[in-house]
């Protein structure tokens, strides 16, 4: 187990990487792919077992996407499904002893948040063109300052919310283990249970907010 606040790094091609974050990311990716493969290995028209679970997630996301983004949003469905499953797996593996969440590293969360925001702006420009730029200057051109602050705040809040929640959870697990004598496991267990809840909630929040931002860029505007 690593010391709090310290990360192992390696240097590769002159760049610095947090090796533990990368390992855990690959593990989480592996888990997600494994679950997806197992669930879709033997698809049938009449669903059974794991297939029900995967279908449930996909149908729920489809409903959300249709409600928030309209028909154009369907092409983003794989991205959003992937985002949700990856975040859920990442958040939860941090609770396994000797492992860490990829999402306890700001690089991961900020990376994902920037990816989402860049996608938002690219899709917005692609689908709406001039309208998209114009909407930053509404209702009056003065609002461009506020709008810019909002746009910059989006990835930062998205990234720090997830990062803070997950890192705090892991730190408190370590702190509680060191603080409490070995015969008093109740606070640790309680916190672990709460961390599981937090992991799920944060995965949902990140996904839903990403969807909301993307919806802004993608959905057809009837008002304009």
Partner 1 sequence: MIVLIEINATILAQILNFLILVVLLRAVAYKPVARLLQQRSDKIKGDLDKAEADRKAAEQTLEQYKVQLADAHKKAQDIVDKANVTARQEHDAAVAETRKEIERMKATAQAEIENERNRAFDEMKSQIVSLSLAAAGKVVMKNIDTKENDKLVNDFISKLDKNMFADLR
Q: Which residues make up the interface to partner 1 (CB under 8 A)?
A: 4-7, 9, 15-18, 21-22, 25-26, 29, 32-33, 36-37, 39-40, 43, 45, 54-55, 58-59, 77-79, 81-83, 85-86, 102, 105-108, 110-112, 114-115, 167
Q: In the complex, what is the shortest distance from the CB of residue 202 to partner 1, in angstroms, rounded to a whole number?
A: 16
Q: Are 100 and 170 in contact (CB under 8 A)?
A: yes
Whole-number Å distance between alpha carbons of 120 and 211: 10
Q: In the complex, what is the shortest distance from the CB of residue 28 to partner 1, in angstroms, rounded to a whole number?
A: 9
Q: In the complex, what is the shortest distance from the CB of residue 193 to partner 1, in angstroms, rounded to a whole number?
A: 25
Q: In the complex, what is the shortest distance from the CB of residue 155 to partner 1, in angstroms, rounded to a whole number?
A: 12
Three-state secondary structure call for residue 214? helix
Cβ nearer to partner 1, comparing 18 with 195? 18
Place of tokens 């593996």: 93
Cβ nearer to partner 1, comparing 58 with 208? 58
Cβ nearer to partner 1, comparing 84 with 191? 84
Whole-number Å distance between alpha carbons of 95 and 202: 14
| DSSP-assigned letters across all residues of 163-184 | HHHHHHHHHHHHHHHHHS-TT-
| DSSP-assigned letters across all residues of 91-148 | HHHTTSTT---GGGSHHHHHHHHHHHHHHHHHHHHHHHTHHHHHGGG-SSGGGHHHHH
Cβ nearer to partner 1, comparing 115 with 208? 115
Q: Are 113 and 158 in contact (CB under 8 A)?
A: yes
Q: In the complex, what is the shortest distance from the CB of residue 127 to partner 1, in angstroms, rounded to a whole number?
A: 20
Cβ nearer to partner 1, comparing 78 with 129? 78
Cβ nearer to partner 1, comparing 22 with 177? 22
Buried b (16+ CB within 10 A) or exposed e, 152-163: eebbeebbebbb
Q: In the complex, what is the shortest distance from the CB of residue 81 to partner 1, in angstroms, rounded to a whole number?
A: 6
Task: Let me know how long the chain is.
Answer: 224
């Amino acid at each position: 187990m690593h010391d709090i606040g310290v990360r192992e790094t390696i240097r590769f091609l002159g760049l610095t990487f947090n090796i533990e974050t990368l390992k855990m990311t690959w593990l989480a990716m592996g888990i997600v792919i494994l679950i997806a493969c197992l669930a879709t290995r033997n698809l049938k028209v009449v669903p059974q077992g794991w297939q029900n679970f995967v279908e449930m997630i996909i149908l729920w996301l489809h409903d959300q996407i249709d409600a928030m983004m309209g028909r154009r949003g369907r092409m983003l469905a794989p991205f959003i499904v992937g985002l949700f499953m990856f975040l859920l797996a990442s958040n939860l593996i941090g609770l396994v002893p000797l492992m860490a969440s990829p999402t306890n590293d700001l690089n991961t969360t900020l990376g994902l948040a920037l990816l989402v925001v860049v996608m938002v702006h690219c899709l917005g420009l692609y689908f709406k063109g001039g309208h998209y730029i114009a909407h930053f200057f509404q209702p009056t051109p003065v609002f461009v300052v506020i709008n810019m602050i909002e746009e910059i705040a989006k990835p930062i809040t998205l990234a720090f919310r997830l990062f803070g929640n997950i890192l705090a959870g892991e730190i408190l697990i370590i702190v509680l283990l060191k603080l409490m004598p070995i015969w008093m496991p109740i606070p640790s267990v309680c916190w672990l249970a709460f961390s599981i809840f937090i992991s799920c909630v944060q995965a949902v929040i990140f996904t839903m907010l990403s969807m909301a931002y993307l919806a802004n860029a993608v959905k057809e505007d009837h008002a304009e």
